[in-house]
């Protein structure tokens, strides 16, 4: 699945290397910053692609108005400012740059941990005020202290690696991480209830999702050891700011370093009080604010736009957020299998006269197809063709199917031969790929010798066997329709033509 990018709008400040790279491959770029909502809605209708940072809020209202928009890219990691559900329903691909600012965010985290341990920020401020508070700002060594890393992805692992050089013991929590993977980088995976009582420092590196909102709260802080220090360079909202303030004021929490906040810039009085507290180091969302990170994410998002548009095979798509199945579908020799599956799904829907409330099954057979789960989604795209007003593609097919009550049963079967089976109602069709072309192998138990190439215009008839072939040919000839080929198996007949036809023949069922 490639996306035709006729033009791209960049609505937030990104490094100029982004637009330059797109333009070098012939993609026109329009740069307009800080557009009011009504102007953004008007402008976005002119473009197929949109690139943002944090300022532009890509809401459901804006996406609904973006009739031509096919892909939204954020030059950064999080996508909190993009309505993923609305984008998915419209079949709009959302991309981010998962690795672009990892090193910068990691290094800031490490700097904040060190600053908390040695009161660097507070001591520096007192010196600027003319004081010499040497005893007041005596700190602690990091050696032999326990650092808990919540979220052990790219950034979390980089932090762990660097802080181990300070002699820190690393414990971590990540629901998708195995004990073995943690141990391979010198960390001990624990559950959260095991972490709270033993951590001297807790740093969070998770996305902001329902499961992580207020992950650090009054209850969890009360379970932590006295003097624990909290670091958040991930997303505002992971730490409950009021609970953190109360814990610091009570003396239970020993301090915090915060680069992100629930509201940015902060205006809430609780957040402002937290920022002003002498035990808190606060920075204005600097995690990705390095020259290297800004250039890296700008280039990376441009590279992904070029890859997903098919402008070049030099780059790859690494940051699809709302349709991970699309990443697999775009790689290697998967394109022909996608086309086959779409065609089989579309053909299957014809058998039930597009009554797609019928029971649907999608089977992938053969060792080479084992990991090609996108085939099931591509079958859905074919089945749903013409059933929805929304743009239909691999991004939104599953969502739209659920919306209209369609459930597809997905199966994988071992085998030496590779083919796809679609069952719909009482019918079953099979197909495969040969030399990058789609072939129909059988309908029900009727096998077509050598298969039928599934080109654009195929008419299917079910009659009384080959004797009906003459009747069908005569009808086509009488209407001046050229027949390119025909195949028969059992009572099934397949006619290939150069145009879309719908000829009703008495006594013979057409599909």
Active-site annotation, residues: 235, 264, 285
Question: Cis omega (within 30 of 0) on the bond before 427?
Answer: no
Report the alpha-carbon distance of residue 230 to residue 200 in Å, rounded.
9
* Dmax (CA) of the chain: 105
Interacting residues of 440 by C-beta distance below 8 A, sequence separation 6+: 344, 347, 429, 430, 431, 448, 451, 452, 454, 458, 494
Instruction: Report the run of H or E that residue 307 belongs to, with start and end.
Output: helix 291-309
Structure tokens at 141: 């060594």
Closest CA to 50 of 253, 227, 301: 301
DSSP 419-433: EEEEEETTEEEEEEE
What count of other Cβ atoms lies within 10 Å of the Cβ of residue 210? 5
Q: Which residues of 449-476 are buried (b: 16+ CB within 10 A; e: fewer)?
A: eebbebeeebbbbbbeeeebbebbeebb
Instruction: Report the run of H or E that residue 339 belongs to, with start and end.
Output: helix 335-351
Report the alpha-carbon distance of residue 137 to residue 424 in Å, rounded.
73
365: Cα separation from own chain's centroid: 27
**Phi, psi angle pair for 432, to nearest 5°:** -150, 180
203 pairs with which residues across the strands?
Answer: 149, 231
Report the alpha-carbon distance of residue 57 to residue 87 in Å, rounded.
13
Task: List the strands of the sheet with 509-510, edge to edge.
Answer: 483-489, 492-497, 458-462, 509-510
End-to-end CA distance of the chain: 28
Interacting residues of 386 by C-beta distance below 8 A, sequence separation 6+: 354
452 pairs with which residues across the strands?
Answer: 440
Interacting residues of 481 by C-beta distance below 8 A, sequence separation 6+: 497, 499, 501, 503
Report the alpha-carbon distance of residue 475 to residue 469 in Å, rounded.
10
């Amino acid at each position: 699945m490639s996306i035709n990018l006729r033009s791209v709008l960049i609505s937030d400040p990104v490094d100029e290397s982004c637009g330059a790279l797109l333009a070098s491959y012939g993609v026109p770029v329009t740069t307009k910053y800080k557009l009011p909502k009504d102007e953004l809605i008007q402008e976005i209708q002119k473009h197929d692609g949109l690139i943002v940072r944090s300022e532009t809020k890509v809401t459901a209202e804006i996406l609904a108005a973006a009739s031509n928009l096919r892909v939204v890219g954020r030059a950064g990691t999080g996508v909190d400012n993009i309505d993923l559900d609305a984008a998915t329903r419209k079949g709009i691909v959302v991309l981010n740059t998962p690795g672009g600012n990892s090193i910068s965010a990691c290094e800031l985290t490490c700097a904040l941990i060190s600053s908390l341990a040695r009161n660097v920020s507070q001591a520096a401020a007192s010196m600027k005020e003319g004081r010499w508070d040497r005893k007041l700002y005596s700190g602690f060594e990091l050696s032999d202290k326990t650092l808990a890393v919540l979220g052990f992805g790219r950034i979390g692992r980089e932090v762990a690696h660097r802080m181990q050089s300070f002699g820190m013991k690393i414990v971590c929590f990540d629901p998708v991480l195995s004990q073995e993977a943690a141990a391979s980088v010198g960390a001990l995976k624990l559950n959260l209830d095991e972490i709270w009582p033993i951590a001297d420092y807790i740093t969070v590196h998770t996305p902001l999702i329902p499961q992580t909102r207020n992950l650090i709260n009054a209850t969890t802080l009360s379970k932590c050891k006295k003097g624990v220090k909290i670091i958040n360079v991930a997303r505002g909202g992971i730490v409950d700011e009021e609970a953190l303030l109360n814990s610091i004021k009570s003396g239970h929490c020993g301090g915090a370093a915060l680069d992100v906040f629930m509201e940015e810039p902060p205006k809430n009085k609780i957040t402002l009080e937290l920022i002003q507290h002498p035990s808190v180091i606060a920075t204005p969302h600097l995690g990705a604010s390095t020259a290297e990170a800004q250039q890296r994410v700008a280039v990376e998002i441009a590279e992904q736009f070029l890859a997903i548009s098919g402008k070049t095979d030099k780059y790859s798509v690494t940051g699809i957020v709302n349709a991970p199945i699309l990443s697999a579908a775009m790689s290697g020799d998967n394109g022909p299998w996608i086309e086959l599956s779409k065609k089989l799904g579309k053909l299957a829907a014809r058998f039930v006269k597009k009554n797609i409330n019928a029971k649907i099954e999608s089977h992938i057979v053969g060792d080479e197809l084992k990991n090609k789960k996108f085939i099931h989604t591509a079958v859905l795209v074919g089945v749903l063709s013409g059933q929805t007003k929304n743009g239909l593609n691999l991004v939104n097919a599953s969502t739209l199917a659920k919306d209209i009550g369609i459930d597809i049963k997905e199966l994988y079967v071992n085998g030496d031969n590779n083919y796809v089976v679609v069952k719909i109602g009482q019918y079953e069709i099979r197909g495969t790929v040969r030399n990058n072309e789609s072939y129909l192998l059988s309908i029900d138990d009727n096998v077509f010798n050598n298969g039928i190439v599934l080109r654009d215009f195929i008419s299917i008839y079910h009659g009384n066997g080959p004797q009906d072939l003459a009747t069908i040919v005569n009808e086509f000839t009488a209407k001046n329709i050229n027949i390119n080929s025909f195949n028969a198996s059992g009572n099934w007949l397949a006619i290939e033509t150069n145009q879309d036809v719908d000829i009703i023949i008495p006594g013979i069922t057409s599909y």
